[in-house]
A and B are shown apart, each in its own frame.
Chain A
């Protein structure tokens, strides 16, 4: 029962030298340290302090000696609590948190225990209780307005994950494998009191840091973090290829957009935009002006025959300016038509063959790819044959259009005219803007099988870039540069050219037809480190060409071979040079990373030290650049400047620095590190000004990262933090409780709280709100007829119709507070009074009989009847009358929060209960009426207390009482808006100040 005491000692205001090793008595303040505590209050013989002191000597100390020392004396004190040491009031004052516990136990008649040798009279007990209360009041007055010290603390697991997310830009969540953080007295896991460190955790930190460092990608300029680890070739390939493919997707061309813009431009006068030029038209539609001009020209200028004539015919037949929707649809049909016709005109290209060389070999495949890449906008077919094929293509669907392709006279003039039009058509409408997926060499049509950017070699890895039409027609200068950079980064990061060339050596030597089988090729070994030196490449080029010539190659093939070796050599060299040149930028990025990780400017000495460490790793430990950089990064993440938050010592109570304030603010509202804007204000030194601070606070509450507050504060306060892993539901009996539903239940209160946070709603909505948020599984569970689309969350304004709305009837709480096969009014009620109203209720005695675990086994009684019996027992009643009734009104909701009319035993549910104030009320509305009438202040008090404690990262103390009262008043006068609660906290001296612990001890 006294297990908690040890912790609370560590929390004590004066027990400052707290350590995790925690033998509390060694930490107890000495009398010396406390000697001047009385000074400020000692104003004369009859000062309040003196009166308290004398009452302590005459009433309290003798009481403790007589009734407590048996267990809590110097000899093997129970629960490590030795009250004999607290011989004067001075010492008691240094130990307030332990004595608060003593007060609670005395008040609750829990101590001394029933079997103690001596029991105090109720008058004796009352005297001590009253003295302790007076002392608390006295303490509060003395300490009023001063900030208690906030201990240095490591990041909590949740903060660690969020911080890594914001530091790297990728959500790695390395803390998943950390041991669960303990909570402090207030129920939060974000305070120095509870966040201890251990070797096991350091090992986890180490692994986490290494994991994060594994995500680092070294770029030609700086570093970036991949969403997955990027150590192996395959992972790096995946990362780089995806970025290019994403770029292509973002910049995909839809011809319909260009036709539609042209249509709008054509009707510019009717649209009242007679002065509009084509460029403006492109800009407004976010299209490429270059390409819109090309399309416009094809549609409107010059002679048109063949497919161009077909296109113009259809274009002219688009609906008029008053029918935009229909025109839009027409443009889509136009696009499909062009794509179909253009397919027919695709260039036909024969492959290059060389005797003895595989068709899938690199020089030949690359030659073929290059030829095709050059021909996306050219026409080189047989004019009349192609026109016939085009007509054939149209016959089935658009016979009228096919007629437009009829050529009456087949003379040279006509052929030239047709050819010109075909060329213009092909040039304006490339057969592809980008080839992002290529089939294997033996099956060019086999593209689309998830081999993005591949060159199509046999067995060998290799990429091929083919996006000239996109670059020429669509991309602006900036985007072109971005794309060039992405392609170069592919080579740089994955060392693609070197790997490709080594594969070439392997393939040509080993795989049929084994062109390089002879002894003269034996010097070329892909496994040799020098395989890619300029000498070896040119030696191989020579030998390869010599043999090819012997076999009789075409000049085309010869030049394909020559350019293969030249290109490979230059690409390999380019990457090599760039890798050398990039090292300084990586070091600069490392320093910048450290600065962000430390959440403050990095000092010169720190920077030098970090770089010296990197150099030592390279020189002394012989690591490569990349290894040394990764290890340096790991050291940054293990640095106490990253994983701890602390306040540099100052001699007295002081305003914390703006950088510290930035961190306090961001860890309060986001559970994560400050962003650039906050740090900018810290740098400017104006973050602490009321204006800036409140503006920033409001901005932060609107940021999506405020979800950190909703989750970490909300879920710890309301005790559903680990519901995502909740497994105490019998899924055989409750098949609806799927993982998706469980996830949705967890999400509901987070969304709700986040909505209160972001829309600055009244905190009373948490209790009385009519609305809630549901996704499909949850809406189904709640019996709502309108199901949201899969994957979507919707706001249900009037959830009361479905007996939901606000926190109270949320399935997550109803489920978590039900032991599986029955509901538990006890647990549900206890949750309401403890979590929402902040009542402390002592734990039940060990002799309590268990209720059957299954409602169906209660026999003829309902749960409510069973509980009524139980309240008839005097021992239980004292506590249970405080919450059983509050829980009973939830009987309409089953063990997984589902609505029900009968319990599992088949009895109609009973939701009428007599509340602690003696009034009988029914169901959830009854509970809400009770809360509104009798308990609203308790709720507000508790919420303020909890949020304040969470914001400060420490338990509250007597000295916080006054400010807490101010915060509450502010909240009430501002119509209970959540934002004013946060503002009052942020502007409080407690939030903005800190004191050196050494100082506070001397007070």
Chain B
């Protein structure tokens, strides 16, 4: 079978040691005119990196502007990315305040919706999923929803479901998007099994059945079935194109004597080491963005009420109990480690050339936590870091503080509305925001 052959060749190709060398985006496209992305501007991408339980408040600040921004201790990993950075403080999510601690402060971090207590889940569609629908037709995978920690679904003492602590991406008001925690399967969802190949298998079968049936019906009915067959073929062709883009991009790059960005398919199962786990997930996002197989990603680095451990940071307690002492050195190290993940992903994207720019220039990576202070379970403001210029639509190298500007003017959802609009979604409102964020 053809698809089988493709897979083997790609696998073989990917076997080599990952060398990160960017393939210019424009060269990655299209051998057929109908595949060309309209216009010449590279696509815009959006990723969210979520850290549960807040940051280290005393070590989270920035001053100045541009390349000379002064960064606090926890933000040091971003030193080399200062020109690409926006440090935003003072934003808040109204519906995540006054509802008790933890799950109620988390499940709506990307939607701004009010959450329902008890066993029946009710919240709102998250910003990434709205963008996913927007780009549905343009990419192989509308969005990547990844996590480095398994979701749980018990009840917190506030009577909110722990599902709210475990999921930041929601496809609608009542269902979270199933989160992929296995790097191997996340990789497959971009290039292999999950999407296009399954589609092809099904369409193949439908075609076979239709052809077989055509021989049994009258001439007139055959015309009707032909119409169906042609339509199915058309859809399949589209899917095939999606599938082969990566192969052809690889071929073309190789022909020019330049290696494309490759990464071997991660092993099955979960990585033993959380560092490896997070790195792989960041790589997969980078790969997805570079090859334009997806433009939207969320990565739950850890959930709220996280049970992750960091022996390599010299921290013996799990994430959540550690966050209860957010003034501690331990938690500062944890926070810095998480900011390091953002820096790592941004660094990968910055190396990927895309026409005269880089993939990072055309992306917006957002780092966010549900709390400001884990000790006080304080969600009256949330920490935000944005990296990347979103295709020239977002000024960078800035420190923006919205504290004290009045609740109306510091809505987290206003930020989402601003970003959505810059990515081409014509929305008038989102969550509890009816206006974009002023001064962004």
Interface string of B227-265 (1 = CB under 8 A from A): 110111011001000000000000000000000000000
- Does B434 interact with chain A (Cβ within 8 Å)? no
Cβ–Cβ contact A198 & B231, under 8 A: yes
Q: How far is the CA of A201 from the CA of B234 in the complex (A)?
A: 11
Interface locus among A638-646, A860-868, A945-953: A638-646
* Min C-beta distance of A18 to chain B, whole Å: 6
Q: How far is the CA of A5 from the CA of B401 in the complex (A)?
A: 66
Cβ–Cβ contact A499 & B217, under 8 A: no
Contacts A234-B121, A451-B118, A458-B157; A192 near B175 (Cβ below 8 A): no
- Does A631 interact with chain B (Cβ within 8 Å)? yes
* Min C-beta distance of B269 to chain A, whole Å: 5
Interface locus among A148-156, A167-175, A746-754, A778-786: A148-156
- Does B375 interact with chain A (Cβ within 8 Å)? no
Q: How far is the CA of A511 from the CA of B150 in the complex (A)?
A: 15
Interface string of B143-183 (1 = CB under 8 A from A): 00000011111111101011100000000001110100100
Interface locus among A523-531, A567-575, A796-804, A836-844: A523-531
Cβ–Cβ contact A152 & B157, under 8 A: no
Which residues does chain A contribute within 8 Å of B225, judged by CB atoms?
Answer: 152, 640, 644, 646
Which residues does chain B contribute within 8 Å of A231, judged by CB atoms?
Answer: 178
- Does B305 interact with chain A (Cβ within 8 Å)? yes
* Residue among A16, A192, A202, A617 facing the most chain B CB atoms (10 A cut-off): A202
- Chain B's closest residue to A605 (CB) is B212
Cβ–Cβ contact B154 & A462, under 8 A: yes
**8 Å CB interface, B374-428 against A:** none
* Min C-beta distance of A88 to chain B, whole Å: 24
- Does A677 interact with chain B (Cβ within 8 Å)? no
- Does A461 interact with chain B (Cβ within 8 Å)? yes
Cβ–Cβ contact B205 & A635, under 8 A: yes
Q: How far is the CA of A233 from the CA of B151 in the complex (A)?
A: 9
Interface string of A306-317 (1 = CB under 8 A from B): 000000000000
Interface size class for chain A? 35 or more
- Chain A's closest residue to B148 (CB) is A527
Contacts A449-B159, A506-B307, A527-B149; A19 near B119 (Cβ below 8 A): no
**8 Å CB interface, A441-490 against B:** 442, 446, 449-452, 454, 457-462
Cβ–Cβ contact B221 & A238, under 8 A: no
- Does A423 interact with chain B (Cβ within 8 Å)? no
Cβ–Cβ contact B213 & A640, under 8 A: yes
* Min C-beta distance of B121 to chain A, whole Å: 6
Interface string of A155-192 (1 = CB under 8 A from B): 00000000000000000000000000000000000001
Which residues does chain B contribute within 8 Å of A201, judged by CB atoms?
Answer: 231
Give the residue of B203, B216, B228 whose beta carbon is less than 8 angstroms from that of A649.
Answer: B216
Cβ–Cβ contact B219 & A517, under 8 A: no
Give the residue of A206, A511, A617 whose beta carbon is less than 8 angstroms from that of B235.
Answer: A206
Cβ–Cβ contact B175 & A152, under 8 A: no
- Does A503 interact with chain B (Cβ within 8 Å)? yes
Interface string of A184-227 (1 = CB under 8 A from B): 00000000100011110111001000000000000000000000
Q: How far is the CA of A206 from the CA of B228 in the complex (A)?
A: 13
Number of residue pairs across A and B with beta carbons under 8 Å?
Answer: 217
- Does A127 interact with chain B (Cβ within 8 Å)? no
Give the residue of A154, A503, A509, A617 whose beta carbon is less than 8 angstroms from that of B152.
Answer: A503
Cβ–Cβ contact A152 & B231, under 8 A: no
* Residue among B218, B235, B305 facing the most chain A CB atoms (10 A cut-off): B218
* Min C-beta distance of A55 to chain B, whole Å: 32
- Chain B's closest residue to A994 (CB) is B218
Interface locus among A79-87, A619-627, A961-969: A619-627
Which residues does chain A contribute within 8 Å of B153, judged by CB atoms?
Answer: 233-234, 237, 461, 499
Give the residue of A510, A529, A620, A649 whose beta carbon is less than 8 angstroms from that of B319.
Answer: A510
Which residues does chain A contribute within 8 Å of B57, judged by CB atoms?
Answer: none
* Residue among B151, B156, B201, B232 facing the most chain A CB atoms (10 A cut-off): B201
* Residue among B217, B238, B307 facing the most chain A CB atoms (10 A cut-off): B307
**8 Å CB interface, B289-316 against A:** 305-309, 316
Cβ–Cβ contact B221 & A997, under 8 A: yes
Contacts A461-B162, A526-B307; A638 near B150 (Cβ below 8 A): no
* Min C-beta distance of B234 to chain A, whole Å: 4
Give the residue of A152, A631, A997 whose beta carbon is less than 8 angstroms from that of B201.
Answer: A631
- Does A902 interact with chain B (Cβ within 8 Å)? no
Cβ–Cβ contact A638 & B206, under 8 A: yes
Cβ–Cβ contact A449 & B117, under 8 A: yes
Q: How far is the CA of A234 from the CA of B176 in the complex (A)?
A: 8
- Does B80 interact with chain A (Cβ within 8 Å)? no
Cβ–Cβ contact A526 & B227, under 8 A: no
Cβ–Cβ contact B4 & A620, under 8 A: yes
* Min C-beta distance of A614 to chain B, whole Å: 10
* Min C-beta distance of B123 to chain A, whole Å: 11
Cβ–Cβ contact A232 & B176, under 8 A: yes
- Does B36 interact with chain A (Cβ within 8 Å)? no
Give the residue of B120, B219, B228 whose beta carbon is less than 8 angstroms from that of A238.
Answer: B120
Cβ–Cβ contact A152 & B217, under 8 A: yes
**8 Å CB interface, B186-230 against A:** 193, 197-199, 201-203, 205-206, 209-210, 213, 216-221, 223-228, 230
Which residues does chain B contribute within 8 Å of A819, judged by CB atoms?
Answer: none
Cβ–Cβ contact A510 & B320, under 8 A: yes
Which residues does chain A contribute within 8 Å of B157, judged by CB atoms?
Answer: 440, 442, 458
* Residue among B4, B198, B309, B317 facing the most chain A CB atoms (10 A cut-off): B198
* Min C-beta distance of B222 to chain A, whole Å: 8
Which residues does chain B contribute within 8 Å of A639, judged by CB atoms?
Answer: 206, 209
Q: How far is the CA of A446 from the CA of B159 in the complex (A)?
A: 10
Give the residue of A199, A621, A623, A997 whose beta carbon is less than 8 angstroms from that of B218.
Answer: A997
Cβ–Cβ contact A617 & B201, under 8 A: yes
Give the residue of B154, B193, B218, B223 whose beta carbon is less than 8 angstroms from that of A996.
Answer: B218
- Does B440 interact with chain A (Cβ within 8 Å)? no
- 4 A-B pairs closest in CB distance: A450-B118, A510-B307, A997-B220, A510-B318
A-B contact pairs, 25 of them (CB 8 A): A17-B220, A18-B224, A19-B227, A21-B227, A231-B178, A237-B153, A241-B119, A440-B159, A449-B117, A450-B118, A450-B119, A457-B155, A459-B154, A460-B154, A510-B307, A510-B309, A511-B307, A514-B318, A527-B149, A617-B201, A622-B193, A631-B202, A640-B210, A640-B213, A1001-B219
Q: Which residues of B contact A (CB under 8 A)?
A: 1, 4, 117-121, 149-157, 159, 161-163, 174-176, 178, 181, 193, 197-199, 201-203, 205-206, 209-210, 213, 216-221, 223-228, 230-232, 234-235, 238, 269-270, 305-309, 316-321
